[in-house]
Structure 1
Amino acid sequence: MPFSDTIWDECETWPRERLEAFQLTALRTQLARVGQNSDYYREVFKQAGFDPAELKTLDDIRRLPFTYKTDYVKGLEAKPPFGSFAAVDPVDAVRVHFSSGTTGKPTPVLWTNADIERWAHLYARYLYAQGVRKNDVFQCMFNYAWFVGGLGFTLAAQKVGAIVIPSSSGDTERQVETIFEYGTTYVVGTPSFMAHIAETAQKMGRDLAKSKVKTVAVGGEPGAGVPGTRERIERLWGAKMVDCYGALEFQPIAFETTAQNGPTLAEDFVYAEVLHPDTHEPVSDGERGVLILTHLDKQACPLVRWWTGDVVVKDSRPAADGRTHARLPGGVLGRADDMLIIRGVNLFPSAVENIVRAMPQFTNEYVLVIDDSLKDSNTGFLTGVKLRVELADGSDSETQAQQLAAVLRDRLQVRFHVEVLTPGTLPRTVHKAKRVIYE
């Protein structure tokens, strides 16, 4: 049963002191179990000279090294098929989910019954914070084939008591018709697919702003934290847009509430550090850093000091709605590993997206292109970046290219070579969009 009319779980309102005391106790228990049961971490703890019983403060976890995706892959190779990270016998697991494989071979992650129940409870807590109730019709447009998010949202919406339409991604015109025919009130999918649905609805002569949809939740790629994307999708849908942040290895990490003040971390499930990408020292609230996560109670495949690669800003102040878990204003601001450095300027694709999607003369689609012609012949460093966009109206493409390049140069201090294409030229996606390509 929900804790109140607006809050699902009492722990969402714990004072910071109580929350940190809970985290410290949970870490001691979790690290002791992990060090005993996980082949990988047993060796890591040994090499670091780390005894979980000696964990006196939360900062003591910094005695342990980071865990990177490459470490996880090596663990799979060392002990196939489920790897040396597992802290349970595979016979005690009940499910395996896989990564999307966008950066390499899909990697498996085991789940126990307890993991799945915890997952569903946390997702339900977030959906409740986004306004989902028993009288809602929940249309899940996340892909169900191999992708982890769709099942999590389905379990959660059922737990809250909403009617679930597991429509998955694709079959776009049917998605639109289903929204109107069955009175869908809440939809979830990637930002790219939500934009594609809106484009399709317009072509069908259907105005999504006149549907019953009140909330558009997005995840899987940056978008909701980008003002230009949020404004455009909210305008096209006539609904509030909220950000849902998770990863295969951590389900969930942080979801936005109806307040739209940044995704709220699940701090009773993960211990979060935000560190400088180079010095690896903690940064203050309000400063950008890389998010590092440690499970507090994951059973099958727990991770310790997982380097997410996601650049975020943390705000630990209590929210106006009474929730006390820290928030990530702006969501994921970029990836530490896809950040481009152009003449000393750090450029994230989301910064470009914010500008392009705020300009109505262009469609939602864009792609950044990197090739050798953009590199200094002596140093090999980037001197600029190519940007391909689509024109949404009948204006002059050369004029629009010049104007967009000037705006980008003024705001981002980077030289852009803009190529304006006709609508429909760039590929649409129903899953994660690839915004940086190398030619």
Structure 2
Amino acid sequence: MTIENDSATPWSPTQWSKAESWSRDCLAAFQKKALATQLAYVEANSAFYRARFAAAGFRAADFREPADLARLPLTTKQDYMAALDDGPPWGSALACDPAAVRRLHFSSGTTSRPTPDAWTGPDLARWADLYGRAAYSQGVRRGDVFQCLFSYPWFVGGLGATAAFERIGCMVIPGGSGDTERQIETLFAYGTTTIMATPSFAAHLAEVAQRMGRDLRQSKVRHIGVGGEPGAGVPATRARLEALWDAKVFDCYGSLEFQPIAWDCAAQAGGHLVEDFAHVEVIDPATGAAVPDGTPGMLVLTHLDKQAFPLVRWATGDIVVRDSRPCACGRTHARLPGGVRGRADDMIVIRGVNLFPTAVEDVVRAMPGLADEYRIILDETVRDPATGFPTGIRLQVEAAADAPADIGHRLADAIRTKLLVRATVEVLAPMALERFTHKAKRLVRQ
């Protein structure tokens, strides 16, 4: 069974590849065959995984079913960094000749030192085709004008999106995430119809456009793909951005290590996992046991055809809910309703209530009278002095021009009613909080 690389002629008016609507049985058969081939490749070419396989008493030749992967340990970011230190700069995880590497990107370094990932020529072609397939599913077509508002220096998203939209047949404007006023003038001047950006930058553009006397609702932009941080998976954030731009907003989920992971289709019912590129597990982060569809768990991914830096049982740290039922769009790949619910290490436990920052964002974004930026602060003012455990959250928000005088009390009441936690709300003047053009940091632990 093969996958058509049919970007020049999509096989249907709405679908890029026949792989998108394979039956679940067909997908399972494909994954089983692909995993057997990939595990053999990894064992033969990656010293890092060869040692891990041996330590677990696992041989690629013994693989029979995807369930056999559970015999292997998870691969964490710390494991990956240790492998890089084993003979830098490539380390022991590189599974190809360094001369075959055609692209190198780096992580943002927000949670650890910047780490690299590499792609061979076939890896790059696969990446561009999958990105193109995902954007096509959202309604992007040949003739669209695409303005890429992802950062280009170091960041993985900008060049990936550029290659994908060129593959579809769009005219591409590689704008990046700076020069905000120029971006706005450019999208009006050249009739930009589709953009990709972080949710923070998309909101920031709307703020700046308003100050310039420009109404983005009057632009030709009708499609917005957002990624890099939770956004379109948060209902109130999606609604807010769609109102600011009068355009459809789609969640686009990926990471440095897996490009892409899951993107919304036109139905906006949760990003479709790219199950012909990655084998997916959803596990309990505490026990490691698989959880059923509909139950929150940590996403674990295994490459099915990556050559340069292939990963086996990569622990993303992202909490998701999987739904394997077919989508209304006709695609059969499982979806992630609500996108990334949070990071396993970002979960806050407050008097028995598990709270993710995305849940707070949904309440804040839905509250009339607030501007777009906010901060969640965990400090001594919301900790039990005896145990150090959180007793609530502290919120900093900005009042919009039309905010009622009691906006802080209203927000605190909404947080308590909807999330069952106490919130101390500090209402600030407009533009008091830092704006982000790349990845926003809204949870601050002090």
The Cα offsets for residues 240-263 of structure 1, whole Å up to 9 and x where unpaired, read as: 000000000001111111110110
- Aligned-pair Cα RMSD in Å: 1.0
Alignment match, 2:238: 230
Instruction: Measure the CA separation in 1 of the matches of 2:105 and 2:209.
Output: 33
Query: For 2:346, what is the secondary structure of its paired residue?
Result: coil
The Cα offsets for residues 323-366 of structure 1, whole Å up to 9 and x where unpaired, read as: 11111011111111111111111111111110111112001101
Structure 1 residue 394: Cα displacement: 4.8
2:413 aligned to 406, 423, 430, which one?
406
Count matched residues: 438
Verify the 8 A CA contact 2:265 2:329 in the aligned structure 1. no
Please, what TM-score do these two structures have when normalized by structure 2?
A: 0.97
1:311 aligns with 2:319: yes
Structure 1 residue 132: Cα displacement: 1.1
Alignment match, 1:424: 431
1:202 aligned to 202, 210, 218, which one?
210
Q: Give the share of equivalent positions with the same residue, in percent.
A: 58
2:368 aligned to 355, 360, 376, which one?
360
Structure 1 residue 385: Cα displacement: 1.3
2:198 aligned to 178, 190, 193, which one?
190
The Cα offsets for residues 132-167 of structure 1, whole Å up to 9 and x where unpaired, read as: 111100010000011000000000000010000101
Kindly provide the amino acid, as one letter, of the partner of residue 28 in structure 1. Answer: A
Kindly provide the amino acid, as one letter, of the partner of residue 193 in structure 2. Answer: T
The Cα offsets for residues 169-212 of structure 1, whole Å up to 9 and x where unpaired, read as: 11111111111111110011000000001111111121111211
Alignment match, 1:144: 152
Alignment match, 1:163: 171
Kindly provide the amino acid, as one letter, of the partner of residue 421 in structure 2. Answer: V
Please, what TM-score do these two structures have when normalized by structure 1?
A: 0.98
Instruction: Measure the CA separation in 2 of the matches of 1:5 and 1:135.
Output: 15
1:65-104 correspondence runs (5 A): 65-104=73-112
1:51 aligned to 59, 83, 89, which one?
59
1:390 aligns with 2:415: no
Alignment match, 2:277: 269
Structure 1 residue 402: Cα displacement: 1.5
Instruction: Measure the CA separation in 2 of the matches of 1:166 and 1:95.
Output: 18
Instruction: Measure the CA separation in 1 of the matches of 2:355 and 2:253.
Output: 21
Alignment match, 1:434: 441
1:134 aligns with 2:142: yes
Structure 1 residue 396: Cα displacement: 5.3
Instruction: Measure the CA separation in 2 of the matches of 1:3 and 1:106.
Output: 40
1:247-266 correspondence runs (5 A): 247-266=255-274
Instruction: Measure the CA separation in 2 of the matches of 1:320 and 1:373.
Output: 47
Instruction: Measure the CA separation in 2 of the matches of 1:144 and 1:423.
Output: 29
Verify the 8 A CA contact 1:65 1:305 in the aligned structure 2. yes
Q: Which stretch shows the higher mean deviation, 20-29 or 317-326?
A: 317-326
Instruction: Measure the CA separation in 1 of the matches of 2:129 and 2:26.
Output: 21
Instruction: Measure the CA separation in 1 of the matches of 2:338 and 2:76.
Output: 24
Instruction: Measure the CA separation in 2 of the matches of 1:363 and 1:291.
Output: 32
Structure 1 residue 438: Cα displacement: 2.2
Verify the 8 A CA contact 2:226 2:251 in the aligned structure 1. yes
1:323 aligned to 312, 326, 331, which one?
331
Structure 1, gaps ≥5 residues long: none
Instruction: Measure the CA separation in 1 of the matches of 2:129 and 2:153.
Output: 22
Alignment match, 2:131: 123
1:346 aligns with 2:354: yes
Instruction: Measure the CA separation in 2 of the matches of 1:339 and 1:257.
Output: 28
Alignment match, 2:119: 111
Alignment match, 2:6: none
Alignment match, 1:299: 307
Structure 2, gaps ≥5 residues long: 1-8
